[in-house]
Amino acid sequence: MAENLEKLRNIGIMAHIDAGKTTVTERVLFYSGRTYKIGETHEGTAVMDWMEEEQERGITITSAATRCEWAGHAINLIDTPGHVDFTAEVERSLRVLDGAVAVFDASEGVQAQSETVWRQGQKYELPCLCFINKMDKLGADFEMAVQSIRDKLLANPVPMQLPIGAENDFVGFVDLMDMKVYKFYQEKKGAEFKVEDIPEDMKDAAEHARHDLLEAAAEFDESIMEDYVHENPISTDRIIAAIREGTLQNKLNPVFVGSALKNIGTRRLLDGVTRFLPSPYDRPKFYGHKPDDEEEAIEIDCDSNKPLVALAFKITSDKHGDLNFLRIYQGSIKKGTRVLNANKNKKENITRIFQMHAASRESRDVAKAGDIVAVIGLKDTWTGDTLSDPKHPVVLESISFPETVISMS
C-alpha cells in the first residue's frame, strides 16, 4: 500500500452524460481495485463480481472517495457528482481533486455539459487528461474529438496515443509514451493486448504526433524550447515530468484513446493517471484565512508536520452513522483527538478514521496531508467547513459559484 504521498493521486472522472463515465469507472476499479479481498471470492474477479451484484441491486458503485491502486501508486477516485448540476457540491468535489480524467464520446467530441464542468475545473487549475472513449462506435472520429477539445474548451490537447482503425475496425493504438503499438484481441473475459513495434506504415504518423507534442511543450517551457530549436534529444519522460509537476502542469492535456465497453485502453489510461497527473505535493499552494480576518491570506502547505487544515466535502450516512469525507490539506488527523471546526468555532471529536475501498473500509489511526479519508464523530460539521488545529484556526477560501450559468454552445 502506497503510504508515500508522492505516489498518491486524488482524481475524479468527469464526463457528459452517456460519454461512458460509469463504464470507465468500472474498468478502472476492476483493474486497480482487485487487490482488495471481498469475502471468499477469487481475487481477480472479486471486484467485478461485486459490481455486477451492486448493479443488479441498483446501488451506485463508488463511495464519495474510493481508494484503489495501480503500478505502485494509490489512487483516490473521488465521485464528482451529477453530470449537470452546477452547484457548490460539484465545486467542492472538484476542489479536493489534484487531477481529473475527462471522458469524451469519440463520435460527439465536446458536448455542452462537458464545457461547464471543464470550466469549473479550470477555476482550480485542475490538470486534466482526456480520454476519447467509444472509438468502436459508429461515427467515431478521433481527430474531430481532439479538435473540439481545442476549439470548445480552449485547451491544449496533445495526443499521447493514435488510434489504429475506428468503429468496428478499432483494434488498438500507437502509444507515444513508449513508441509501441498496443493491439487488442477479444478474450472471453475482456480484451487482452500485445505490445508490438510500430509498423513501417505508421511510423510517419507517430513521428509527426511526437513532433507536435515537442512543439506544444516547447511553447511553455524555455529549456525544452532551447533543446527543440537546437534539435537536441528531448526524452518523453522529461515532458511527462513537466506535465505532472513542472512548467507544463495544466498547460497541456494529454489525450488517450480507447473503448471502455470493449475494454481497450483503460489500463493504459491508468498508466497515464499515475504518470501525468500530479501528487498532492505537486499542486499549486492553497490559501486560507483566520476566521475573523478575511484579508490576510494564510498559505497552506502539504506538510503533515504543520497544524491541521482539512476540508469536509461530503457527508454520507450508512448503518454506522454519518461518514464525513475530508481532504487533508495540511497537518494530520489522529483517531481519538479533538479538532476545531473553524467556520462554526466548535470543537469536534474524531472518533474513527476510515480509508474507503471499492467494497470495504479500512480503519486508520492517522491520516496525513494530501490524503482523503472518511471520519466518524463530527456532530456540527457540514460540507464546506474547514477543520483545523484548535490552536491555529484557519478557514479555507470560501467556495463561490455564479448564480447563472451561460452555456457556450
Question: Is 242 near ligand GDP (CB under 6 A)?
Answer: no
Q: Does 88 bind ligand GDP (CB under 6 A)?
A: no
C-alpha cell at 346: 466548535
Pick out residues in 147-206 that bind ligand GDP (CB under 6 A): none
* Shortest Å distance, C-beta 331 to ligand GDP: 36
Please identify which residue in the block is written with the cell numbers 479555507. Answer: 396
Piece in contact with ligand GDP (CB under 6 A), picked from 85-93, 161-169, 258-266, 359-367: 258-266
DSSP 397: P
| From candidates 9, 21, 251, 364, binder to ligand GDP by CB under 6 A | 21
How far, in Å, CA of 182 to CA of 200, rounded? 15
Q: Which residues of 365-394 are buried (b: 16+ CB within 10 A; e: fewer)?
A: eebbbbbbbbbbbbeebebbbbbbbbebbb
Q: How many residues bind ligand GDP (CB under 6 A)?
A: 15
Within 10 angstroms of residue 91's Cβ, the number of other Cβ atoms is 18
- The β-bridge relationship of strands 332-334 and 337-341 is unpaired
Q: Which is nearer to ligand GDP, 191 or 213 (CB)?
A: 191
What cell was used for 283?
499542486
Considering the complex, what minimum distance in angstroms separates the CB of residue 167 from ligand GDP? Answer: 9
Alpha helices in 133-194 (DSSP H): 142-153
**Cell numbers at residue 316, please?**
454520507
Q: Shortest approach of ligand GDP to residue 83 CB, angstroms?
A: 7
Under the criterion CB under 6 A, does residue 110 sit at the interface with ligand GDP? no
134 near ligand GDP, judged by CB under 6 A: yes
How many angstroms separate the CA atoms of 385 and 58, rounded?
31
Query: Would you give the DSSP letter of residue 337?
Result: E
Q: Indicate whether 261 belongs to the interface with ligand GDP (CB under 6 A).
A: yes
Among the listed ranges 60-68, 191-199, 256-264, 355-363, the one in contact with ligand GDP (CB under 6 A) is: 256-264
Using CB under 6 A, which of the segments 257-265, 307-315, 324-332, 389-397 binds ligand GDP? Answer: 257-265
> What span, in angstroms and rounded, lies between the C-alpha atoms of 109 and 145?
4
Does residue number 15 form part of the binding site for ligand GDP (CB under 6 A)? yes
Q: Report the residue number, 260 or 394, with the smaller CB distance to ligand GDP.
A: 260
Contact 147, 141 (CB under 8 A): no
Q: Which of 260, 328, 353, 359 binds ligand GDP (CB under 6 A)?
A: 260
**Smallest separation, CB 94 to ligand GDP (Å):** 17
Partners of residue 48 on adjacent β-strands: none
Q: Annotated binding residues, as ranges?
A: 15-22, 79-83, 133-136
Q: Note the residues at the interface with ligand GDP (CB under 6 A).
A: 15, 17-23, 133-134, 136-137, 259-261
